[in-house]
Amino acid sequence: MRGAALALALVALALAGTVRAAAADPPRPPRELRLLVVLAGFPDRPLAKSPAHFARQLSRFVAYWTEVSSGRLRLVPTLDELAVTLPGPRRSYVGRPDALARDALAALAAAPAAADALIVFFAGAGASRTRTRAPRTTRGPTTRRSRRRRTRAGWPSRRRA
């Protein structure tokens, strides 16, 4: 009996706090996050894409976060149109994003704009493109589909009459 009364009192307090908090919280204004965007190449691999390409990618990035946050996050990017060249070769930055960011900031000609976050677009394929795959064999297991392809390509059918 005592346990039930205590549980009921706790539920009542929890509900009262939730109602009070919901009534007191006005809608929050969107949070603004200032981004500094740097285009970076390496001595052994210069940046191959144009700044316009990265501007399009950046606008898609901003639109995505605006949508998924329901407008509560507003990204304000500052894109430096001139690409910088980092001091080390690309391989020296693999697995070291802190060094990449530090050197990209140091390579900027002008003082960087005030920002809350840094994005570095750099030359070369990302990690998802550089992973090696197992070599394909020239002759794998024969499936019905691959046999059908060979038959359509003019190879004789292996079906017995």
Residue 133 lies in a domain: no
User: What domain range includes position 103?
Assistant: 31-125
The pLDDT value recorded for residue 139 is: 54
Residue 144 lies in a domain: no
Residue 95 lies in a domain: yes
Residue 97 lies in a domain: yes
DSSP assignment string, 84-146: EE-SS-GGGGTT-HHHHHHHHHHH-SSPPPP-SEEEEEESS--HHHH---PPPPSS----HHH
Residue 100 has pLDDT above 50, yes or no: yes
Total domain count, the chain: 1
The pLDDT value recorded for residue 18 is: 44
Residue 156 lies in a domain: no
- Could you give the 3-state DSSP secondary structure of residue 47? coil
**pTM of the shown model:** 0.59
Residue 18 lies in a domain: no
Residue 72 lies in a domain: yes
Residue 8 has pLDDT above 60, yes or no: no
Give the chain's mean pLDDT: 75
User: How far apart are the C-alpha atoms of 23 and 155, rounded to whole Å?
Assistant: 75
The pLDDT value recorded for residue 114 is: 85
Residue 111 lies in a domain: yes
Model pLDDT for residues 103-158, shown as the tens digit of each residue: 999 998 777 778 899 999 988 765 555 555 555 555 555 555 555 555 555 555 55
Residue 17 has pLDDT above 60, yes or no: no
